[in-house]
Structure 1
Amino acid sequence: MTATIPLGSRISGERLAVLLGEWRRRGSRHGSTDLAAAVEMYVLDGQLPIGTRLPAERELAAALGVSRTLIGAALDRLREDGIVASRQGAGSWIAGTGARRRDLEIPVTDGIFDLAKAAPSALPGLTAAADAARHDLAAYVTGNGYVTGGLPSLRSRIAERYTARGLPTTEEQVMITGGAYSAFVLCLRMLAGPGDRVLVEQPTYPNALDALRAAHALPVPVALDPGEGWDLAGVEAALRQASPRFAYLMADFQNPTGHRLDAEQRERLGGLLARTRTPVVIDESLVELDYDSDPLDGPPPLASFAGELSLTLGSASKSHWGGLRLGWIRASADLLDRLLSSRFAVDLGAPVFEQLVLAAMLEPAGYAALAQRRQDFRGRRDALAAALGHYCPDWTFTMPSGGLSLWCRLPKPMSTRLAVSAANHGVQLAPGSRFGVHGGMERWLRVPFALPSEHLSEAVRRLSLAVASVRSCAGVPAVNVPVA
């Protein structure tokens, strides 16, 4: 069968040499094996996404200071394992993760600790807000109940929040949707079609990847550095080489890594997007969960720098409650007009009662409750970190300043097997492969801290038992679990 050449960014020999670092482990006699293992590790970690074009053998040999014979032997090994593919005249590229998989659903039983979803319980005060909304509902029941763009009162309060954060916004620039995922699907339908390329972070939000695949769009991944976050040079190269129809980015407490762009990086990234006239969908679902400062004191929204082709998504699911199923899109009036014209093929608007509830929760008392939530969740984050340090001391992670999860590096590529085993110990997980454009990420696991601290400690204790049970197991089955 003829190998298909995927479209992807090219990595130079010099850059690949820096990424691989000290790749030799067992002396010169095992050089090709060590090099192949190092490349495979970075593929599994998502740092070399599928589709990445590799440098020519001569260029890589010069960058690593080795012979072309060694490079050729390493590539032969990687081709045998299905990690690299090559074609004469076209070079070599990353083609797969080499993992064997079978479909398997994790069983869910009563009493299981759900660590697959980074979603909290309802914010205190929601019941009182529902009572207030019940009285406000009387003003709407005499109408037909269809408010396609959203209730003016809710749109106005969301616009005020953007303005307070440094992005001047009017009510006419906000559309209410049935959650941030629905908002993303609306943007996707407007911006891209089958075969169109969409730039995404690697790793990224699994449901967004599912939506792209359902639309037959082609995600173009740009790897995030585990410690530093965004590779802006890599983003610039992908914009130039792939010319994506739009970019999907999370600048605030990126899901799953927890990274956050600072103001200087936002200005640079926004400038790149504006200069290339690349529309960008910015997911701010986690922006209100800032544990170091008030969200109003954080860096300006990325849309402040990205120009008129930016669409910012917000959500009540992470900050207030997923059961509200409400999100929104902030964009220019022109873009919202285009979205409205295509929205009727998807839905006819968000429910009125839930909008009234959220509007009541965006009053001063609701923001006071949200401030308390941030304090509580900071404690849960610290409790999870302490539990991992005690029960899983060889796991590493960067402590995020916000969001709802830790992105943990495992001592071995066992994320999928661990997710399967954890279910038998009463813990449901989403394996790292769910967050990769083409799978992989087997050395990574997202562990949310939305549960109460005492539950987190017990869940991690059970995780440590699952780790012990998989260390000597072979095979890597696939795991499909709902992710939030």
Structure 2
Amino acid sequence: MSTALNSTVMSGTRLAGVIGTGPWPGPAYESLTTAMSRAIADGRIPVGVRLPSEREVASATGLSRTTTTRAFSKLREQGFVLTRRGSGSVVRLPEVPGGRIDHLLTPADADETEIDLTCTASTAPPRLLGAYDRAVAKVHAYLPGTGYYPSGLPVLKELIAERYTARGVRTDPDQILITSGAFGAVAIAVRALIEGRGRVPLIEGRGRVLVESPTYPNAIATLEGAGASLISYPLELDDHGHHWDIETMGHIAAQAHARSAYLIPDFHNPTGALLPEEQRPELGAMLRRNRVVAIFDESLAELGLDGDPTPTPMAAFVPDSITVGSTSKIFWGGLRVGWMRIPSHRIDQVAATRLCLDLGAPVLEQLVAVELMHEHDMIVGEYRTRLRAARDSLAQQVRTHLPSWQVDVPRGGMALWCRLPEDRSAALAIAARRHGLSLVSGPNFAPAGGLDRWIRLPYTVPEAQMDEVGPRLAAAWDEALSFSGRIPPGRARIVA
């Protein structure tokens, strides 16, 4: 499990912003202990961060030094804090019965009656078969060649470049590289930035990658697999849901000397949060100021469900950034066609890295993607309509069957991110299997641990199954509440 670097220090002011400044019901040290332990479990105080001194905490929270000393002592007893002479108090997570779950999960066979809530992906659109028929009719033109197109078919690159230009960032087809899915693109990008292949010089601290918490589990695995050290920025949380504090993110990036970032500003997975247009220049300025080269994941950017225009690409505000996208979320996951938009001066660097991993995406699937791109607006428009109805249905089921859960309805994306009244996400995921549900527990979305009070619920399940989700969830939650001691064994699923 990756943790934030121990050199990252949280100020007293920042801590008070996370846990509040009271009032503190008596005994005050218990209230402070509870507030801090919950913030750690939720991932709002990252694992590995060094806490401010007890004196600074007292000043920031309006409590006495005696109170904060007792609270720190209690946190050490509970396993949330490790204090070493000369090193201060560092956040950690207590050992849990049954161990923790890996971010990239082991696949398991699902019963045909089981409802799969591990995957934010839809079934194929009705027009897919016709797109394959037309692509097969055109593939003969490519058969005399070798079939290797490491940067992608020119016709597909042109269509993708045109869409970026129409969205507000001028793009040349040569800046597009076609990949095997969005995470093929992420793997290439992060390796290029860390290993520094090509003519772009290596940067000190290049292996330190800033990520949001929570974030997509397969991103965690991909970044770690490339040798990255993850620097965790916990998304802010208030009564209106999750959002970004650019100043705090910049402070964390500067302290940790992060030189790369993986960020999801568009209908963030799993929270559904959308970075407002007015904050995009601010984020761009912060990244430039700290010399951070960002990888922006736009896989969900076109899935706004409440009439919002498609967000302006972050590349318009951060010219030296890499953007990745995919057909998986808007068309069909089985295509496995993704892409990268690359700054001109990094094309050689990224292309050299790509050739160390594979020689290109399949020709037929790229031709299918071309056919679907020609019908893009119609296909995506129909899909948004279905997703909007599914989102509203699932949110209502959670409110009806699980009124103690907190659910903030996102303006886009493919899932609800629900807050549980207790830290039992892992227990819920295990109990759910006995009620015909497959879930991914909150800790899988935590790059630095925590988040056992959260659960992601995709609303991409087939319409015929949707009405069963609420009752099954409620039954599973009742069972999870009955668990004590060691969590019963369960099978895990791949996250998508």
Whether 1:60 aligns to 2:57 is yes
| Residues 1:476 and 1:11: Cα distance change in structure 2 (over 3 Å) | farther
| Residues 1:132 and 1:410: Cα distance change in structure 2 (over 3 Å) | same
Counterpart of 1:347 in structure 2 is 358
Counterpart of 2:182 in structure 1 is 180
Counterpart of 2:444 in structure 1 is 434
| Residues 1:415 and 1:25: Cα distance change in structure 2 (over 3 Å) | farther
Counterpart of 1:12 in structure 2 is 11
Residues 26 and 34 of structure 1 are in contact (CA less than 8 Å); yes or no, is this contact kept in structure 2? yes
1:303-343 deviation digits (Å, cap 9, x = unpaired): 11012x20000011111000001100001232122111121
Counterpart of 1:94 in structure 2 is 91
| Residues 1:22 and 1:473: Cα distance change in structure 2 (over 3 Å) | farther
- Which of 406, 412, 426 pairs up with 2:416? 406
How well do the aligned residues superpose, as a CA RMSD in angstroms? Answer: 2.0
The one-letter amino acid paired with 1:56 is: S
Residues 415 and 445 of structure 1 are in contact (CA less than 8 Å); yes or no, is this contact kept in structure 2? yes
For 1:109 and 1:72, how far apart are their aligned partners in 2?
Answer: 52
- Which of 256, 268, 271 pairs up with 2:285? 271
Residues 83 and 98 of structure 1 are in contact (CA less than 8 Å); yes or no, is this contact kept in structure 2? no
CA drift at 1:472:
2.6
Report the more deviating stretch, 101-110 or 410-419.
101-110
1:189-221 deviation digits (Å, cap 9, x = unpaired): 111259921100000011111122223321001
For 2:463 and 2:420, how far apart are their aligned partners in 1?
Answer: 22
Q: Secondary structure at the match of 1:121?
A: coil
For 1:422 and 1:303, how far apart are their aligned partners in 2?
Answer: 41
Residues 317 and 325 of structure 1 are in contact (CA less than 8 Å); yes or no, is this contact kept in structure 2? yes
**TM superposition score normalised by structure 2:** 0.91
Residues 9 and 237 of structure 1 are in contact (CA less than 8 Å); yes or no, is this contact kept in structure 2? no
CA drift at 1:24:
6.3
Whether 1:229 aligns to 2:240 is no
Matches within 5 A, 1:98-247: 98-102=95-99, 108-192=110-194, 196-226=207-237, 227-247=241-261
CA drift at 1:6:
3.7
For 1:285 and 1:400, how far apart are their aligned partners in 2?
Answer: 16
The one-letter amino acid paired with 1:397 is: V
Please list every run of 5 or more consecutive structure 2 residues that lacks an aligned counterpart in the other structure: 196-204
CA drift at 1:278:
1.2
**TM superposition score normalised by structure 1:** 0.94
Counterpart of 2:302 in structure 1 is 288
Matches within 5 A, 1:282-431: 282-293=296-307, 297-307=309-319, 309-363=320-374, 365-431=375-441
Residues 8 and 220 of structure 1 are in contact (CA less than 8 Å); yes or no, is this contact kept in structure 2? no
Counterpart of 1:261 in structure 2 is 275
CA drift at 1:374:
0.7
The one-letter amino acid paired with 1:335 is: R
Residues 116 and 429 of structure 1 are in contact (CA less than 8 Å); yes or no, is this contact kept in structure 2? yes
CA drift at 1:97:
4.5
CA drift at 1:479:
6.7
Residues 415 and 459 of structure 2 are in contact (CA less than 8 Å); yes or no, is this contact kept in structure 1? yes
CA drift at 1:90:
1.9
- Which of 43, 51, 71 pairs up with 2:68? 71
Please list every run of 5 or more consecutive structure 1 residues that lacks an aligned counterpart in the other structure: none
For 1:423 and 1:452, how far apart are their aligned partners in 2?
Answer: 18
Q: Secondary structure at the match of 1:192?
A: helix
The one-letter amino acid paired with 2:300 is: L
For 2:167 and 2:312, how far apart are their aligned partners in 1?
Answer: 6
Report the more deviating stretch, 280-289 or 325-334.
325-334
Q: Secondary structure at the match of 2:37?
A: helix
CA drift at 1:268:
0.2
1:359-405 deviation digits (Å, cap 9, x = unpaired): 00000x34212111111111111111111111111111221111100
Shift >6 Å, 4+ stretches: 103-107
Q: Secondary structure at the match of 2:482?
A: coil
Report the more deviating stretch, 65-74 or 319-328.
65-74
For 2:209 and 2:434, how far apart are their aligned partners in 1?
Answer: 37
Q: Secondary structure at the match of 1:471?
A: helix
For 1:107 and 1:474, how far apart are their aligned partners in 2?
Answer: 27
Residues 207 and 259 of structure 2 are in contact (CA less than 8 Å); yes or no, is this contact kept in structure 1? yes
For 1:475 and 1:481, how far apart are their aligned partners in 2?
Answer: 24
For 1:5 and 1:464, how far apart are their aligned partners in 2?
Answer: 35
Q: Secondary structure at the match of 1:110?
A: coil
| Residues 1:98 and 1:71: Cα distance change in structure 2 (over 3 Å) | farther
| Residues 1:305 and 1:103: Cα distance change in structure 2 (over 3 Å) | closer
Q: Secondary structure at the match of 2:406?
A: coil
Q: Secondary structure at the match of 2:151?
A: coil
1:2-60 deviation digits (Å, cap 9, x = unpaired): xx9943532222332232226666513xx323222211111111101112221111111
Report the more deviating stretch, 324-333 or 187-196.
187-196
Report the more deviating stretch, 471-480 or 394-403.
471-480
CA drift at 1:458:
0.3
Residues 425 and 465 of structure 1 are in contact (CA less than 8 Å); yes or no, is this contact kept in structure 2? yes
For 1:234 and 1:139, how far apart are their aligned partners in 2?
Answer: 53
